[in-house]
Amino acid sequence: MAALQNLLGGFSWFCERELDFGSFCVQRTIIDVINLLFLCVFYLLLLVGSLRKHQISQNSRRDWGSVVVSICCALISIVCLGTGLWNLIAKDDRTKNLNWLFDLLRGIIWTSLAVSLLVQRAKWIKNFSSIWWVSFSLLVSALSIEILLKAHSIQILDILSWPVNILLLFRALRNFIQLAKDHTEDKSLFEPLLLEKTEQKQIELSQATFLSKLIFSWVNPLLSLGYSKPLALDDIPSLNLEDGSDLAHQKFADAWESLLRENSSDDTRNLVFKVITKVYFKENVVIAICAFLRAIAVVALPLLLYAFVNYSNKEEQNLHEGLSILGCLILCKTVESFSQRHWYFDSRRSGMRMRSALMVAIYQKQLKLSSLGRRRHSTGEIVSYIAVDAYRMGEFPFWFHSTWSLALQLFLSIGVLFSVVGLGAITGLVPLLICGFLNVPFARLLQKCQSEFMVAQDKRLRATSEILNSMKIIKLQSWEEIFKNLIESLRDNEFKWLAEQQFKRPYATVLYWMSPTIISSIVFLGCVLFRSAPLNASTIFTVLAALRGMAEPVRMIPEALSILIQVKVSLDRINTFLFDHELKSPEIMEESLPNCDRTVEIQAGNFGWDPEIPIPTIRDVALEIRKGQKIAICGPVGAGKSSLLYAVLGEIPKISGTVYISGSIAYVSQTSWIQSGTVRDNILYGKPMDMERYDKAIKACALDKDIDSFNHGDLTEIGQRGINMSGGQKQRIQLARARRILQMHGDNCCSSCPYSYR
């Protein structure tokens, strides 16, 4: 006991008062001694590790999070060392005690912590450093909290070092998590070396825990891999099944068929929107909850700030009240951050699924379009539906929830203004209402400009597609300037509507950017005129915070409305396209005929390209083709030879009569269709190679001489759309492809002008 009393007496010498073991000064000194022991062990381990260099080079990649925390520790150490040196050289004898020694010791400890953050190569040094960080952070934080609760005051140096302690604790927890993950991955060493080929791994989101999804830590492995090396295609994990286009379109198609059965009337307006709402309603409810929480958190911050400023102005302050307000501020900001991040992520993810489903639906609809539908929608327009309209529908969830949540945030912020300044807020509503009413004509003008712009864009894309398809003829006839001027005129018309839209948008943008400053000035003027609230610190800070919460809705709502207008235009275009005329499924009856020696039979067939015109294109067709027959149809131009083939294929709408087809059909079109690839790829067309049948197909189509003349035989690369092939060569490749299909599982072959290039 005497030794303890002597020790306390020594402590009282530099703490300048009588002490016991419950004294803060004694507790701080004990913590410093514990850290000094950790410091000595750390440098001892570092010395041993430097003598065994081959064991400390596990990972040379720099962790920038550790670098940032190390810099913070170094700054704290500089402050501690500077304080200790100042106390050492001070001339006032009252300060000449051991305080300078402990300040210097703490500076050395902080310097060692900075070093420990940078030296993390050996696993055992990393683990020991993490234990040191945890003990240091918990001990210092516990002492600071005890000082704050009992003494109601804390030193500035402790306030500055407290956030760094928290960062050290987080770095230690990160190291422990990485250690557990490495331990799990080490189990793969016990697996056999020769493994079967496995499927590509899915994205970490599918196996992520709730905490990992909450803080988005599931993406860290991919980011770490991208930091260590350039990412390759094999490094990118595959999408989850629920994010794939197959499942997205399957849900869309099921809901589409269900609503079509339930829709007794012929009203098909907004059916695409109803389908999207039915399929993605549940996940959008979750997005709406996140957007709602974010709006509430943003509006609650000015009220908490008002309470905090009032608390700071009180003469008698309750510590528990202050801590409660501070905790609510931290909680409110945390809820705002998490809800906003998940709102953004989930809305973009839902929009991606919508876009994928619509792209597949548009593609499949294009395959079933009738001749009338193809005339209404050119190739360029269909490309625009996929590239532009489907993309805008993918942006719909984010901007839809932005619109209503920002409007809610705006109205709640107005309520906060009324609760703080009373009638003085009425003067601020006048310019706000003026801005709102001015937005209506701007929205109508933008909608008109957007509609006209889309029409002009479709015309340009249609003309561009036709010109590119006929580029060879244009080059031969030297018509480049004529069609160039045509494209430029269409582009000028498109640019006119685009420029008008962009010129009108800045008026609304400037108006809404200036409105917060104008409104705040008018609100303060109203407070003076109505004397509804004193212009003290709490009122001014709260009004500015509330107006800051109103600035985002005022700035974003016009843009959101503009994008929703574009979405409405795109939605109408997609809805019109998906309900356009398509080939009817019972046009051709693919079944075995009663008399098995017949493969094609048409009875009293009447066909027309335009089903709305009662006069058919070809009338009273009676055709019967038996197995093994070779039928040639001859006639002048426009007699209907190709139309008859289209009738057999089901490409021309049937007005009356019956068409029976037994088996499948291999079709050779009049215009050759060649893919970019090798000659062999264009003949096999994805089918397995059978060399005997392959050679027979080549010889039957007189393609063997062409292949012999190529430098690389049938492995010769064909340019884009067969640009380096003659017309006859492309037609013979088509014939060989049809012959190859017939050899495998074809029954009939239809060819339109197969020898037109010979």
- The DSSP-derived string for 692-752 is HHHHHHHHHTT-HHHHHHSTTGGGPEE-GGGTTS-HHHHHHHHHHHHHHHHHHT--EEEES
Higher pLDDT, 518 or 246: 246
Higher pLDDT, 344 or 554: 344
One of 3.40.50.300, 1.10.10.10, 3.30.1540.10, 3.40.50.970 is the CATH number of 677-751, namely 3.40.50.300
Quick one: which H or E segment has residue 657? Answer: strand 654-661
Contacts 24+ apart (CB under 8 A), 43-51: 43/112, 45/124, 45/125, 45/128, 46/119, 46/125, 49/121, 49/122, 49/125
pLDDT exceeds 90 at position 678: no
CA distances (Å), origin 62, targets 46, 119, 180, 417: 18, 10, 20, 49
Confidence of residue 367 (pLDDT cuts 50, 70, 90): confident
Are 301 and 333 within 8 A, CB to CB? yes
pLDDT exceeds 50 at position 11: no
Give the integer Cα–Cα distance in Å for 309 and 538.
5
Answer whether 243-313+320-578 and 585-629+636-663 agree in fold: no
pLDDT exceeds 60 at position 125: yes
pLDDT at 511: 66
CA atoms in the 13 A half-sphere facing the CB of 690: 10
Determine how many CB atoms are found less than 10 A away from the CB of residue 754. Answer: 18
Token pair of 388 as six digits: 């532009």
pLDDT exceeds 70 at position 689: yes
Bridge pairing between strands 654-661 and 589-590: parallel
Confidence of residue 8 (pLDDT cuts 50, 70, 90): very low
Confidence of residue 741 (pLDDT cuts 50, 70, 90): low
Bridge pairing between strands 598-607 and 618-626: antiparallel
Give the integer Cα–Cα distance in Å for 626 and 628.
6
Token pair of 583 as six digits: 């080939």
Give the integer Cα–Cα distance in Å for 95 and 72.
28
Give the integer Cα–Cα distance in Å for 648 and 693.
27
Mean pLDDT of the chain: 77
Are 125 and 119 within 8 A, CB to CB? yes
pLDDT at 152: 55
Torsion sign (Cα): 401, 406, 412, 415: negative
Give the integer Cα–Cα distance in Å for 327 and 330.
5
- Which CATH number is associated with domain 243-313+320-578? 1.20.1560.10
DSSP state of 286: H
Confidence of residue 357 (pLDDT cuts 50, 70, 90): very high
585-629+636-663: what CATH class?
alpha beta
**Predicted confidence (pLDDT) per residue in 99-114, tens digit:** 677 778 888 888 888 8
pLDDT at 2: 44
Q: Choose among 580, 549, 730: nearest CA to 271.
A: 580
**Predicted confidence (pLDDT) per residue in 724-735, tens digit:** 677 777 778 877
Q: Choose among 244, 227, 226: nearest CA to 235.
A: 226
DSSP H helices in 120-270: 123-151, 156-185, 210-215, 220-228, 245-262
Confidence of residue 404 (pLDDT cuts 50, 70, 90): very high
**Helical packing angle, 156-185 and 99-118, nearest 10°:** 30
Q: What is the pTM of this model?
A: 0.61
Are 32 and 11 within 8 A, CB to CB? no
Are 428 and 550 within 8 A, CB to CB? no
pLDDT at 129: 78
Residue carrying structure tokens 């010395």: 47
Quick one: which H or E segment has residue 200? Answer: none
Q: Choose among 275, 128, 148, 225: nearest CA to 579.
A: 275
Q: What is the mean pLDDT of residues 17-33?
A: 61
pLDDT exceeds 80 at position 141: no
* Structural domain spans, the chain: 2-183, 243-313+320-578, 585-629+636-663, 677-751
Give the integer Cα–Cα distance in Å for 31 and 12.
17
Q: What is the mean pLDDT of residues 113-127?
A: 73
**Predicted confidence (pLDDT) per residue in 456-484, tens digit:** 888 888 888 888 878 878 888 888 899 99
Give the integer Cα–Cα distance in Å for 498 and 452.
9
Higher pLDDT, 113 or 153: 113
Are 420 and 542 within 8 A, CB to CB? yes
**Predicted confidence (pLDDT) per residue in 713-727, tens digit:** 888 887 666 666 777
Are 439 and 558 within 8 A, CB to CB? yes
pLDDT exceeds 60 at position 311: yes
pLDDT at 197: 43
Highest averaged pLDDT of the listed ranges 126-135, 492-501, 739-748: 492-501
CA distances (Å), origin 201, targets 204, 223, 349, 474, 680: 9, 16, 20, 50, 33
Quick one: which H or E segment has residue 592? Answer: none
Considering only 97-111, 373-387, 565-579, which range has the smallest mean pLDDT? 97-111
Give the integer Cα–Cα distance in Å for 442 and 602.
60
Give the integer Cα–Cα distance in Å for 303 and 317.
19
Burial 566-577 (b: 16+ CB within 10 A, else e): bbbbbbbbbbeb
